[in-house]
Amino acid sequence: MIAGILKNNKTKAHYYGYRPDEIKQEEVFCDGNINFCMISPVPQNVLAFSIGADIIFNMLRRRKNVYADMGVLPDKNLLSRMGNAPIEALYSERQIRDFDIIGLSLYFIGSYFNVVPFLIKSGINPIARERGEEDPLIIAGGGSCSTNPLPVSDFIDVFVIGDGETPVKNIIDCMEENKGVGKMELLHKLKEKNRSLYIPLLAKNGESVYYNIEEDISGSILDASDYVSKPRNKTIELIRGCRYKCNFCNLGNIRRKVAEMPVESVVKAIKSYPTGTSIYPFAPDESSYRKYDEIYKNIGDRKLYRYNQRFNTYKKNKRHSLNDYRVSFGLDGISQRIRDLVRKNVKEQQVREAITHALANFDVIKINLIIAFPFECHSDWEEFERLMEDICKIRKELVPEKCYTEEENERVYIGYKEGKKVKIDKKLLMLHLAPTPFQAEPHTPMQWYGIGDIDLANIKIKSLKKKLLRKYGMVKIEGLNSKASMETEFIMKRGGKEICNVLYDMGKRDYYNSSGLSQLNKPFKLLLKKRGIDYRKYLKEYSINDSLPWEFIVTGGEERYKREYLKMKANER
């Protein structure tokens, strides 16, 4: 039923790019195959499938004796049109509960709220220990549950901790080798051979699970024939992991050695897309890809969106074409003091040099930054305001507003409206700020820190925007998070198994994340209180001697996290 609704849904472009005729695989849904359904439990008008989910899906649809499908949690409007009908897979239109394996992509912490509603609406008991032999095996993977799976551990049979290629292959191998065995026996066999699988029903106190890191990712590259969930964003993975170890980010702290895609594979993937396609190179820092210049030479007439650039490694190439118009940087600290404290290793002079070049060569400059660190102070904001004003002055000097052509001022963008491509005229942007509040990420040196002052940060950002607009114009600031949203995410990232009961209560009441976390803050806190849980304990700074819910997951960097945390505390003022 859902597939039929989505075929005629005017906003289907926001879902997953429904293209059933383009999904090619030899296997079909049948009893002789292992039938796997990849699920995004967040409505696709909020987020699309992750690149990790696409990689696993494509790996499985090419495997013999495996049928791979996809499914989504529809938004509330579509659910109301479905009535009480169970959720179906998108391509086979089989009910989700008929599959052998359900793979939940939990790369976004907000998706935790949707696990229980999704299972209920699929006709599956959300409590793992109460499910029977006839129920599918529920596995989950993704960035959030790889660092702390405990808040949803009552609902999942198997968690894949870390990179998913090898663990998922091992799960399929084990099922093929042990057809007909009971679920508990299968779980025991999975645990015996895979130290990167967390199986809550078999977990023992003090037992470790090891974060899986794929050293060779060359077989995981996706080209034009592989993408089924991102029809507009043609993402090509360059690097997995990060060469830098910023104290707030787990990408560089967990993976100590980066894995790079072979440049030949990257170029081949780029050339699989037609002329005019926007290519999104995917890496925490694209510029540190060692053969980045070779990619640039082979882009042809395709657009290149420079999506993640560090100021200190930025390649000062000129724009490749008139369509190559946008570049994004990560500042991640409003002052030099903060950037030094969190080991961002970017100096103000490097910021100014990179920005000066980018402003002269690109139309849209986006700066991603983390705000509301718990040690921010007014002098940090004063330094940030001076830097932003200087950047606006540089642009004004390089490209005076009076010199803009009519074509530049009324640039034509291609967008989507009601599911159809349309031309959208937008004013040319000069500076685009995208602030994100600090989160104490597990498995980082900052995992012990408490929540920062998001109210003060938002006031400062809004004041800056007003000032810059009045003096220079053409400034855009997006993504200001509310205190409610920040608190909800903080609680979820730091919670343990006790959160499972609260998420179950919310799911039974049909609360789920359909439009952001702010709307869930009030009922979430109320149900925490009813369960006797004081939410404020998750927001405070922890002691380095405190037991952390996620410490059973071993990454190999545990001692370094402590050293860097103590160094930060010693250098705060």
Amino acid identity of 362? F
- If residue 183 lies in a helix (H) or strand (E), which one and from where to where? helix 183-193
Round to whole Å and give the CA distance between 541 and 373.
12
Round to whole Å and give the CA distance between 34 and 67.
6
Round to whole Å and give the CA distance between 228 and 393.
43
What are the b/e assignments for 529-567, b being 16+ CB within 10 Å? eeeebebeebbeebeeeeebbbebbebebeeebeebbee
Q: Which two tokens stand for residue 409?
A: 């001022």
Q: Which two tokens stand for residue 20?
A: 């059933």
pLDDT in the model for residue 48: 63
Sign of CA dihedral 261, 267, 269, 273: positive
Amino acid identity of 338? I
Percent of the chain with pLDDT over 90: 54
pLDDT in the model for residue 139: 98
Confidence of residue 425 (pLDDT cuts 50, 70, 90): very low
- Is the pLDDT higher at 204 or at 401? 204
- For 245-284, the pLDDT digits (tens) are 999 999 889 987 899 999 999 999 988 888 777 788 888 8
- For 309-366, the pLDDT digits (tens) are 899 988 776 655 545 567 889 999 999 999 999 999 999 999 999 998 888 877 778 8
pLDDT in the model for residue 231: 47
Q: Are 310 and 287 in contact (CB under 8 A)?
A: yes
Q: Find all residues with CB under 8 Å of 567, minimum gap 6, and list them.
A: none
User: What DSSP state is assigned to residue 158?
Assistant: E
pLDDT in the model for residue 319: 57
User: Strands 197-198 and 158-160, how do they pair?
Assistant: antiparallel
pLDDT in the model for residue 302: 77
DSSP string, 185-231: HHHHHHHHH-TTEE-GGG--TT--EE-B--S--GGG---TTT-SS-S
In this prediction the pTM is: 0.90
At CA 36, angle to CA 31 and CA 39, rounded to 5? 145
- Is the pLDDT higher at 229 or at 524? 524
- For 362-421, the pLDDT digits (tens) are 777 889 999 999 999 999 999 999 999 998 888 777 765 544 444 444 444 344 344 444
Round to whole Å and give the CA distance between 184 and 407.
65
- Lowest mean pLDDT across 139-143, 342-346, 391-395, 528-532: 391-395
Strand partners, 431: 475
- Is the pLDDT higher at 438 or at 324? 438
φ/ψ of residue 434, rounded to 5: -130, 85
- The answer, yes or no, to whether residue 112 has pLDDT greater than 80, is yes
- Lowest mean pLDDT across 94-98, 101-105, 279-283: 279-283
Amino acid identity of 318? K
Q: Find all residues with CB under 8 Å of 148, minimum gap 6, and list them.
A: 442, 493, 494, 495, 549, 550, 553
**Structural Rg of the chain based on CA atoms:** 24
CA–CA distances in Å: residue 197 to residues 15, 141, 212, 444: 30, 10, 9, 21
pLDDT in the model for residue 518: 86
- The answer, yes or no, to whether residue 242 has pLDDT greater than 80, is yes
Tell me what the pLDDT averaged over the chain comes to. Answer: 85
Amino acid identity of 265? S
Q: Are 38 and 68 in contact (CB under 8 A)?
A: yes
Round to whole Å and give the CA distance between 418 and 436.
29
| Other Cβ atoms within 10 Å of 360 Cβ, number | 15
- Is the pLDDT higher at 325 or at 85? 85
Q: Coil, strand, or helix at residue 540?
A: coil
- For 486-526, the pLDDT digits (tens) are 999 999 999 999 999 999 999 999 888 877 788 899 999 99
pLDDT in the model for residue 238: 92
Could you give the maximum distance between any two Cα atoms of the chain, in Å? 74
pLDDT in the model for residue 513: 84
Q: Which two tokens stand for residue 241?
A: 């992991």
Q: Are 213 and 226 in contact (CB under 8 A)?
A: no
pLDDT in the model for residue 8: 53
Round to whole Å and give the CA distance between 15 and 238.
25
pLDDT in the model for residue 387: 94
- The answer, yes or no, to whether residue 15 has pLDDT greater than 70, is no
DSSP string, 81-146: HHTTPPPB-SSS--BGGGSSEEEEE--SGGGGGGHHHHHHHTT--S-GGG--TTSPEEEEESHHHH
Region 202-207: mean pLDDT is 92
pLDDT in the model for residue 424: 39
What number of H helices and E strands is found in the chain? 19, 20
Confidence of residue 1 (pLDDT cuts 50, 70, 90): low
pLDDT in the model for residue 285: 84
Instruction: Pick left, alpha or beta for residue 458 (phi over 0 → left; psi -120 to 50 → alpha; otherwise beta).
Output: alpha
pLDDT in the model for residue 394: 83
- The answer, yes or no, to whether residue 116 has pLDDT greater than 90, is yes
Round to whole Å and give the CA distance between 301 and 270.
11
- The answer, yes or no, to whether residue 159 has pLDDT greater than 50, is yes
- The answer, yes or no, to whether residue 82 has pLDDT greater than 60, is yes
Confidence of residue 428 (pLDDT cuts 50, 70, 90): very low
Region 537-551: mean pLDDT is 96
Indicate the burial class of 478 (C-beta count within 10 angstroms; 0-12, 13-18, 19 or more). exposed
Question: First vs last Cα of the chain: how many Å apart?
Answer: 60
- For 41-70, the pLDDT digits (tens) are 876 554 567 889 989 999 998 899 999 998
Round to whole Å and give the CA distance between 357 and 355.
5
Return the residue matching tokens 């690149």. Answer: 51
Q: Coil, strand, or helix at residue 155?
A: coil
pLDDT in the model for residue 168: 97
DSSP E strands: which ranges in 469-562?
A: 475-477, 553-554
